[in-house]
Amino acid sequence: MASNLVRFDTLRLIAYTALTSTFTPFGFVTSQSTPAPFAHAMRVLNFKNTTDADVYISYDGVTINDIIPSSSFDLYDLTSDQDANEMFRYQSGTQIYASFVLMPTKGYISLTSIYGKGE
């Protein structure tokens, strides 16, 4: 049974100085250089791009899956309006990556992720 208690995972972040034209894995804010795959099945992802450049997002480190314009955010809520089994989630073990479109000169891209207690 799915949980109805919300838990926020540790903030993931990539500083503009660590972004490159190849995909960089998101790490925890306290250890950005260490990749941080999901330890839980995530329900909600919130990307914030505070850089002055557009940023690509990848869910496998190879494929461009999304673009987040500079100074903006993207919010993905997979659990709104779902059926009774509530199994539509970002899989545990997923590593998310980012790369720049044009080199940024300031800011960061962050990833806030939310899961259910016990998931």
CATH number of residue 39's parent domain: 2.60.120
Residue 64: inside a domain: yes
Sign (positive or negative) of CA dihedral 89, 101, 16, 61: positive
What pLDDT is recorded for position 75?
92
DSSP letter, residue 10:
P
Q: How many domains does the chain have?
A: 1
Segments of the chain with pLDDT less than 50: none
What pLDDT is recorded for position 102?
94
Range of the domain at 61: 6-116
Q: pTM of the predicted model, to two decimals?
A: 0.88
Distance separating alpha carbons of residues 86 and 95, to the nearest angstrom: 22
Residue 37: inside a domain: yes
What pLDDT is recorded for position 83?
58
Residue 74: inside a domain: yes
What pLDDT is recorded for position 2?
58
Residue 46: inside a domain: yes
C-alpha of 46 from chain center: 7
Residue 1: inside a domain: no
What pLDDT is recorded for position 86?
62
Number of neighbouring beta carbons within 10 Å of residue 15:
16
